[in-house]
Amino acid sequence: MLTVDFRTAEMLTSTRMKESSASFRSLEKDFIFNFKAGQQSCILTAPLRIPMKGSMSDLHGRLMLLHNLPCFVENDLKNALDQFIEEETNKSYDQQAETALDKFINCDMGVEQLTDAWAKAYHETTLEHARPEEPSWDEDFADVYHELIHSPASETLLNLEHNYFVRVSELISERDMELKKLQERQSVEMDKVMQELGNSLTDQDVNLVAAEHFKSQQVLENKWANELKQLMAIQKQEYQEWVIKLHQDMQNPNNSSVSEEIKVKQSKSNVPNERVFEEQSLLEESFTIHLGAQLKTMHNLRLVRADILDFCKHKQNHRSGVKLQRLQTALSLYSTSLCGLVLLVDNRINSYSGIKRDFATVSHECTDFHFPRVEQQLEIVQQVVLFASAQRNKKAKEKAELLNGNGGNEDKSKNAERNPSNILPGEFYISRHSNLSEVHVVFHLCVDDNLRSNNINARDPAIMGLRNILKVCCTHDITTITIPLLLVHDMSEEMTIPWCLKRAELVFKCVKGFMMEMASWDGGTSRTVQFLVPQSISEEMFYQLSNMLPQIFRVSSTLTLTSKTPIKNNSH
């Protein structure tokens, strides 16, 4: 008789077979299989963990392969394994249940206490009996605001927001004035120091003065930043509390103080405004197109020459406290017709430089009563990026361990070169706003210097990023989107007329293709796409791009047909 003692079965199964479950303790049982090979009787012995958490089929195949078992015992081995695992598992469960019952009978707790504990656990873990989730404060405030902004109290809300806006503007003016005075004073001091350089002062003295100036400026900026942050926090809390109170009062028809309160808020809105933005003349062209294979969907296209931050800035009007361009944005804040904007940024998630700093400055000109400040939203984005990078590196490491030699080393070197806190070109993050002029959602699209070259194609990361942004617009009710047509915010010397025409043609054609895909993404919703060109572009170049747009999108036009051949009546 040939006996095979299979004591290495644990190595053949998944490592998960070694782990014990949370409710039952795993036990080791010997599986014994008898079979005949010709005239010789054989015994296969394998210790198995019960309950078994691995794949029985996988264990069966490994047993056959490792010990070269004859094929005619394959089915018998499988049936024996099934029967053994089922019987031993039931025995294990029965034994564990008996042990639990013994502990229950011999425990010190009373029957009523145990019954209450079991009932509580059942109610908490069963969805049917669990308590419904209570609505959050943000959800309640959103519902209340949406109801009030579509009521006669809408003008009052906008006037109150304008009052807060004026107060923030005054604080910003005070900050700018004090910073300007400090810079002028420091400039005079530095001029005096430079005049004494080489006589009574050295380069080290100049550096010390410059460092002292920088420190003083940082202290002053931090002081005003804290004051501005505190003011906005107070305004946000007061505004939300007043909105909730107004809604509660309006629910009571016998409350006569509501109309008086509205009148008071309206009377306070006539506050003089000294900071008035000068509106620059904008060039724009509008088109209506129909896209789709079978079912055509109408879309609105606009070509606009403006600064991208003009869609975010509030244009104040000293004659009236109500800003009309703010009304539509407020009405659609909690709706299915949101407005989005694509902002081109670098791969660092912050608001300290370039267009990101300018955007953060604009967003701080008015208190956001509905969403967190930009810095808080960016902190959350940074945490998500770090978590995603850690998961990506973990998967790459696991993949590298499975690869042989050079492949794994290349992946490790690539992962080591990448900063986990940065994003890649074509990736984007989203910020939400209620305090911008014409925008609810901002897509911060990461781009690099490659966009300034003349050799990008439809597979460039920035172009694919636009496709993903449009897909997000379809799935999140963003019906108006503003896109930088040339994929730059400012013109430079290398951006010649041929460069602009080629770049515009590429973006036009790609966006048209993406809009064709929208029909399958959202069922064909009418949308408005605004193509934005920099303010510094010439009028001649603007109208060349305007002529290109209808040629690519094939704008529908009415045709008048005339016939010069007389119609003959060939009746016989």
C-alpha 236/C-alpha 376 separation (Å) is 15
Asked if residues 301 and 552 have their Cβ atoms less than 8 Å apart, the reply is no
Asked whether residue 541 is domain-assigned, the answer is: yes
Asked if residues 505 and 552 have their Cβ atoms less than 8 Å apart, the reply is yes
Tokens found for residue 48? 């198995």
Asked whether residue 406 is domain-assigned, the answer is: no
**Strands laid side by side in the 27-37 sheet:** 2-5, 40-50, 27-37
Clarify whether residues 87 and 181 are in a common domain.
Answer: no
Clarify whether residues 323 and 207 are in a common domain.
Answer: no
Radius of gyration in angstroms for the set of CA atoms belonging to the chain, rounded to a whole number: 36
**Cα separation values, 197 from 187, 189, 215, 352, Å:** 15, 13, 22, 33
Asked if residues 442 and 340 have their Cβ atoms less than 8 Å apart, the reply is yes
pLDDT of the chain along its 572 residues, tens only?
444 443 333 333 333 333 333 444 677 888 888 888 777 888 888 888 888 877 878 888 888 887 778 888 888 888 888 888 888 888 888 888 888 778 777 776 667 777 777 777 777 777 666 666 665 666 788 888 988 888 888 888 888 888 898 899 899 999 999 999 999 999 999 988 888 887 888 888 889 999 999 999 999 999 998 999 999 999 999 998 899 888 888 887 666 555 555 554 544 444 444 334 444 557 899 998 888 767 788 889 999 999 999 999 877 554 444 456 677 888 889 988 999 999 999 999 988 888 999 999 999 988 999 999 999 999 999 999 999 888 888 888 888 877 755 544 554 455 556 788 889 999 999 999 998 988 999 999 999 988 888 888 999 999 999 999 999 999 898 999 999 999 999 988 888 999 999 999 999 999 999 988 887 777 778 889 999 999 999 999 999 999 999 889 876 554 555 555 454 444 44
C-alpha 152/C-alpha 333 separation (Å) is 17
pLDDT at 561: 55
Domain stop point among 265, 300, 322 = 265
pTM of this prediction? 0.69
Q: Residue type for 83, please?
A: Q
**Cα separation values, 493 from 136, 500, 501, Å:** 52, 12, 15
Clarify whether residues 288 and 257 are in a common domain.
Answer: no
pLDDT at 511: 93
Asked whether residue 466 is domain-assigned, the answer is: yes
Clarify whether residues 253 and 182 are in a common domain.
Answer: yes
Coil/strand/helix, residue 474: helix
CATH number of the domain to which 377 belongs: 3.40.220.10
Asked whether residue 513 is domain-assigned, the answer is: yes
Asked whether residue 130 is domain-assigned, the answer is: no
Asked whether residue 557 is domain-assigned, the answer is: no
Tokens found for residue 308? 């991208």
Asked if residues 311 and 481 have their Cβ atoms less than 8 Å apart, the reply is no
Residue matched to tokens 């604080």: 171
Clarify whether residues 60 and 100 are in a common domain.
Answer: yes
- What single-letter DSSP state applies at residue 4? E
Q: Report the domain count for the chain.
A: 3
Clarify whether residues 216 and 94 are in a common domain.
Answer: no
Question: Could you tell me the sign of the dihedral formed by the alpha carbons of 121, 126, 130, 135, in that order?
Answer: positive
Tokens found for residue 29? 């049982």
Asked whether residue 336 is domain-assigned, the answer is: yes
Residue matched to tokens 């209340």: 144
Domain stop point among 210, 230, 265 = 265
Alpha carbon 524 to its chain centroid, in Å, reads 24
Clarify whether residues 291 and 261 are in a common domain.
Answer: no
* CB-based burial label for 219 (10 Å; 0-12, 13-18, 19+): exposed
Clarify whether residues 296 and 429 are in a common domain.
Answer: yes
Helix (H) or strand (E) holding 231: helix 203-250
**Cα separation values, 390 from 159, 377, 414, 419, Å:** 47, 20, 14, 11
Q: Is the peptide bond before 425 cis (omega within 30 degrees of 0)?
A: no
Asked whether residue 338 is domain-assigned, the answer is: yes
* CB-based burial label for 35 (10 Å; 0-12, 13-18, 19+): middle
Domain stop point among 265, 295, 316 = 265
Clarify whether residues 462 and 547 are in a common domain.
Answer: yes
**Cα separation values, 478 from 331, 371, 471, 481, 525, Å:** 14, 17, 10, 7, 10
* CB-based burial label for 363 (10 Å; 0-12, 13-18, 19+): buried
Clarify whether residues 205 and 70 are in a common domain.
Answer: no
Per-residue pLDDT tens over the stretch 518-561: 877 777 788 899 999 999 999 999 999 999 998 898 765 545 55
Clarify whether residues 301 and 210 are in a common domain.
Answer: no
Residue matched to tokens 């244009």: 315
Q: What domain range is 240 assigned to?
A: 139-265
Asked if residues 548 and 541 have their Cβ atoms less than 8 Å apart, the reply is no
Clarify whether residues 365 and 497 are in a common domain.
Answer: yes
